[in-house]
A = this chain, B = another copy of it.
Amino acid sequence: MTSQTSESQSGTRRTVAVIGAGTIGLGWIALFLAHGLRVVVNSRRPEAERIVRDSLELSAPYLPGGPRDPGELAAGLTFEPDLERAVAGADVVQENAPENLELKQELFERIGKAAPAGALILSSTSTLNPDAMGERMPDGGRLVVGHPFNPPHVVPLVEVVAGQRTDPAAVEEAVAFYRSVSRHPVVLRKPILAFAANRLQSALLRESIHLVREGVVSVEELDDIVTHSIGLRWATVGPFLAFHLGGGTGGLRKWLNTLGAGLEQGWELLGRPRMDEETIASLIEQAEEAYGTSYEDLVRARDTRQTAVLAALEQARD
């Protein structure tokens, strides 16, 4: 495969098999339908059809390119509980099974045998290495990780991760495919456990839990601090550019030369909270008290604001 054939192929990928209809699978389904793709949903849940249709009602107002009619979106849907039949006619497979290596190895072995030879095989895994997942797959080199953020139809990042066995052409294909559905793929230069964005998230969550556990702020106050400072900032510029500008005209050079050594000392003072029963119970209690509203109302509020932020950023870039 050359880069040219990759590009032309991605334009002709019309049918996506989505394996698993949990939170992430449901987001992908909405996103792919919104881009006019045919979606074959493979789920063993007997109520999958109802769940997918309900979920489309919830996501239809917040799709890239603007709100859609959920009924029209659903016209592109097929349900196929048999895995081999679900992938048999797929140009792309996006797998969203639970994070269990054995289970994924078995899935990809079967997908590898049943999917067309040219199909792009993608996994939403947030932790597993493509080499390991594709160990029993006939053509494991075509398996690429495409790890989205929640929900995949709203948040644009997809972390694209290859293993040592992965065919570089498959990585290019994955990037082209995700761009064709208006996502923002970033290819990691090497695999790392939990990839980049979730590691960053985990680091921030650790200190967030520390601050709540120490009684410095409540769960709601912590969220309030983040949304009114670093969240806004990092929606606009990443941490390095933020500090590059925080250093004034001297840039990151001045900032690191002044504070670089102090950074390491500061890190030693960060919290190392234990997730004991008391901590977990207190976090849950505070979150339920602060965010007691219905799940669907909160999701709508989140996605209304998220969509507005994305539109504003796009406009400001022009």
Contact = CB atoms under 8 A, between A and B. Distances in A.
A272 interface: yes
A219 to B, nearest CB: 5
A280 B251 CA distance: 13
Contacts of A2: none
A237 B155 CA distance: 13
A300 B270 CA distance: 33
A313 B302 contact: no
A238 interface: yes
A225 to B, nearest CB: 5
B284 A186 contact: no
A299 B236 CA distance: 11
A194 interface: yes
B214 A196 contact: no
B274 A229 contact: no
Q: How large is the interface on A (under 10, 10 to 19, 20 to 34, 35 or more residues)?
A: 35 or more
Contacts of A193: 269
A230 interface: yes
A206 B267 contact: yes
Contacts of A299: 245
A270 B315 CA distance: 36
- The prevalent SS among residues of A at the interface is helix
Contacts of A214: 190, 192
A245 B253 CA distance: 39
Nearest to A217: B196
A225 B196 contact: yes
Interface string A225-253: 11111111111111111011110110111
A176 to B, nearest CB: 17
A275 B309 CA distance: 35
Contacts of A221: 186, 189
Residue picked from A211, A261, A310, most chain B C-beta under 10 Å: A211
Nearest to A210: B199
A200 B208 contact: yes
Interface of A: 22-23, 149-150, 155-157, 159, 184, 186, 188-190, 192-194, 196-197, 199-208, 210-211, 214-241, 243-246, 248-249, 251-253, 256-257, 260-261, 263-264, 266-267, 269-272, 274-275, 280, 283-284, 286-288, 290-291, 295, 298-299, 302, 304-313, 315-317
